[in-house]
Amino acid sequence: MVHLSVYAPENLPEIERGDSIAERILTSLADFPLQTGDIIAISHKVVSKAESRMFDLREITPSPKAVQYGVLLGKEPALIQLILNESEEVLWAERANGPMICRHHRGFVCANAAVDCSNTKPGHAVTLPLDPDLSAAQIRGEIERRLNIRIGTIICDTHGRSFRNGACGIAVGASGIVALKSYIGKKDRVGRVMESSVECYADELAAAATLVMGQGDEGRPIAIIRGFQGTIGEQSAKEIIRQQETDIFLQALQKTRK
Amino acid sequence: MVHLSVYAPENLPEIERGDSIAERILTSLADFPLQTGDIIAISHKVVSKAESRMFDLREITPSPKAVQYGVLLGKEPALIQLILNESEEVLWAERANGPMICRHHRGFVCANAAVDCSNTKPGHAVTLPLDPDLSAAQIRGEIERRLNIRIGTIICDTHGRSFRNGACGIAVGASGIVALKSYIGKKDRVGRVMESSVECYADELAAAATLVMGQGDEGRPIAIIRGFQGTIGEQSAKEIIRQQETDIFLQALQKTRK
């Protein structure tokens, strides 16, 4: 029987600006010794808070473009300005009270460039960390050094999807894992060489972690995945972004906009 | 500490046409008593095999359209005919050796209408079950009656995604679970009422299950998820399909094709 476990501690303190996430995790897991092979999934929100990526909307001056979108979408212009600041391009923004579908500077295509107001101070909004892969690497490095073990880290967000309702946990940052597992060239059960299967372990791990983290008021922003057989690797989450040149879905949205 | 477990038995026998999946699962889990609240994830492939959804490509006569696609894509015309038989429409098929992006009769937008040749007999291909939600309901019903417990079931496949590399486990069928968990109207940690968060539990559960199932020659087509706090419900996987009328991603692809 293969067995994978996903744990979420319930005593992680509220993370503040400047906090060391690694230290908070280790304190919170004092009675739960981490092991080599464990993967720690962390909600991007606590990383963003620690890295000063929470913004007071009163301090943001909206551009004319943001005001224009504000009227169209029925959203606060300062919030839209923050979304625009995070975006490489707006792919779709047409429906009142609807999302802006944006391509984030780091390549993620998602609603509102991942800018989020839930679980933040009133009048504030949180963006992604500036470099979620770097954040994942730093947290991993600090935990590995302190405990002398080898782990993987994932920074999670929940994104909506094309064609399907609801959002799922995905990896916006990762370090020390196999993010994309290729089966190409491997044999299946009847000896046939597989031609195209690539599985996104990073996003599946993030989805599994999200099941125990919750998205409301649960206060469980980290999860430990133990027993996964495909842990060790050197990929980050950057590899998961489709190349723009071959992304037919992105190109279709871009064409529609024009 | 919240704790979720995902188990995959390694002794499930090869499933043949006409087999009872529920019975095979129960035999395989003789030493692992199922409990109320467990969710059983099942690879669609074994369900399809049991339900005679494996096709001998030599018995399929390709239409002129399939022959045409065959030349364009460098694929076997009989395989393309099977893909066309499963599809409501072809959304994109332009690249030699590339996929056909199709909208399946049941609404899934995915590569090759989910027709798959891996882990099948040589010269054969497997389609989705005719009604994966019904298959999930039947397997669930049989297990619940025999054991007098209350479980959930998910039929899994792995689908590629827009904008992101790699495929993830998703639910093509489900019974007895909360497929879509809405946080709308609930309060976050600072008391703010959430306006838009809907989480696709079904797909996150399928992703977690896929992590232990593997996609190569592992031979682990089922997984048991235990300890999930959001199990009981009455949704199926049908609810996860975006309504065509409001699916901007689908509409963008449809426009590009014209």
CATH code at position B110: 3.90.1660.10
Q: Which residues of chain A make contact with B204, given a CB cutoff of 8 A?
A: 168-169, 207-208, 210-211
Say which DSSP state A187 is in: B
Instruction: Identify the residue among A43, A158, A200, A224 best suited for mutation to test binding to B, counting B beta carbons within 10 A and taking the highest.
Output: A200
Q: Does B258 touch chain A (CB under 8 A)?
A: no
For residue B111, the enclosing domain spans: 54-127
Which residue from B93, B91, B70, B90 is spatially nearest to B80, judged by alpha carbons?
B70
Res. B131: pLDDT tops 80: yes
Coil, strand, or helix at residue B185? coil
Torsion sign over Cα B8, A4, B228, A140: negative
Phi, psi (deg, nearest 5) at residue B188: -90, -170
CA A185 to chain centroid, in Å, comes to: 30
Q: Are B151 and B220 in a shared domain?
A: yes
- CA–CA distances in Å: residue A151 to residues A28, A136, A174, A179, B174: 17, 11, 11, 14, 34
* B109 vs A8, A163, A179: nearest CB: A163
Q: Does A32 touch chain B (CB under 8 A)?
A: yes
Contact call for A163 and B158, based on CB within 8 A: no
Q: At which of A105, A127, A149 does a domain end?
A: A127
Could you tell me the CATH number of the domain that includes residue B39? 3.30.1330.100
Interface of A with B in 108-137 (CB under 8 A): 108-109, 117-122
For β-strands B152-161 and B39-43, DSSP reports them as: parallel
Whole-number Å distance between alpha carbons of B194 and B183: 7
- Kindly state whether residues A135 and A215 are assigned to the same domain: yes
Residue with tokens 């809907």: B198
Q: Does residue A16 sit at the B interface (CB-CB below 8 Å)?
A: no
Name the pairing type of β-strands A54-56 and A124-126. antiparallel
Cα separation, B215 vs A209, in Å, equals 20
User: Using CB atoms within 10 A of its CB, is residue B122 exposed (0-12), middle (13-18) or buried (19+)?
Assistant: exposed
Cβ of A163 within 8 Å of Cβ of B249? The answer is yes
Using the structure block, give the residue that is written with the tokens 């009270």: A97
Q: What is the mean pLDDT of chain A?
A: 93
On whether any CB of chain B is under 8 Å from the CB of A61, the answer is no
Q: Are residues B48 and B78 in the same domain?
A: no
Comparing CB atoms, the residue among A168, A197, A208 nearest residue B211 is A208
Residue B130 in tokens: 């005719």
Instruction: Please tell me which of the candidates A108, A204, A240 has its beta carbon nearest to residue B208.
Output: A204
% of chain B with per-residue pLDDT over 70: 98
- Are B249 and A217 a contacting pair at CB < 8 A? no
Task: Look up residue B160 and give its two tokens.
Answer: 């590629």
- Together in a domain, A100 and A215: no
Over chain B, what is the mean pLDDT? 93
Residues of B in contact with A256 (CB under 8 A): 248, 251-252, 255-256
The helix/strand count (H/E) of chain B reads as 7, 12
Contact pairs from chain A to chain B, CB under 8 Å: 255
- What number is the average pLDDT over the span A149-160? 97
Q: Is residue B249 part of a domain?
A: no
Whether A232 has a pLDDT exceeding 90, the answer reads no
**3-class DSSP state of A127:** coil
Element (H, E) at A225: strand A222-226
Domain shared by A175 and A258, yes or no: yes
Cite the DSSP H helix spans in chain A. 21-28, 44-50, 64-73, 77-86, 132-147, 201-213, 248-257
Q: Flag whether residue B57 sits within 8 Å of chain A, measured between CB atoms.
A: no
**What value does the mean pLDDT take over residues B113-130?**
91
Assess contact for B131 and B107: CB atoms under 8 A. Answer: no
Q: pLDDT tens digits for B151-178?
A: 999 999 999 999 999 999 999 999 999 9
The answer to whether the Cβ–Cβ distance between B4 and A5 falls below 8 Å is yes
The pLDDT value recorded for residue A88 is 97
Task: Search chain B and give the residue with CA nearest A231.
Answer: B211
Amino acid B54 reads: M
Going by C-beta distance under 8 Å and a sequence separation of 6 or more, which residues neighbour residue A118?
A: A215, B188, B192, B194, B197
Contacts of B207 in chain A (CB under 8 A): 168, 203-204, 207-208
Residues A142, A253: one domain?
yes
Q: Which is it for strands B198-200 and B180-182: parallel, antiparallel or unpaired? A: antiparallel
Task: Please say whether the beta carbons of A110 and A152 come within 8 A.
Answer: no
Contact B164 A170 (CB under 8 A): yes
Last residue of a domain, one of A109, A127, A145: A127
Residue B207 belongs to some domain of the structure:
yes
Residues B135 and B204 in one domain: yes
Residue B210 lies in a domain: yes
pLDDT digits (tens, 9 = 90+) for A12-35: 888 889 999 999 999 999 999 999
Q: Nearest CB to B3: which of A7, A109, A210?
A: A7
Residue B100 pLDDT grade (very low, low, confident, very high; cuts 50, 70, 90): very high
Of residues A103, A87, A202, A213, the one with CA closest to residue A152: A202
Q: Chain B, 211-230: which have a CB under 8 Å from a chain A CB?
A: 211-212, 215-217, 219-220, 228, 230
Flag whether the ipTM exceeds 0.90.
Answer: yes
- Over residues A226-231, the mean pLDDT reads 90
Asked if A204 lies within 8 A of B194 by C-beta distance, the reply is no
Q: 3-class DSSP state for residue B172?
A: strand
List beta partners, residue A206: none
Per-residue buried b or exposed e for A143-180, using 16+ beta carbons within 10 Å of the residue's own CB? bbeebeeebbbbbbbbbbbbbbbbbbbbbbbbbbbbbb
Please give the C-alpha separations between residue B12 and each of A1, A103, B187, in angstroms, as whole numbers: 11, 44, 44
Any A CB within 8 A of B67 CB? no
Q: Is residue B254 part of a domain?
A: no
Domain count across chain A: 2
Q: What is the pLDDT of residue B88?
A: 97
For range B10-15, the mean pLDDT: 86
Strand (E) or helix (H) holding B46: helix B44-50
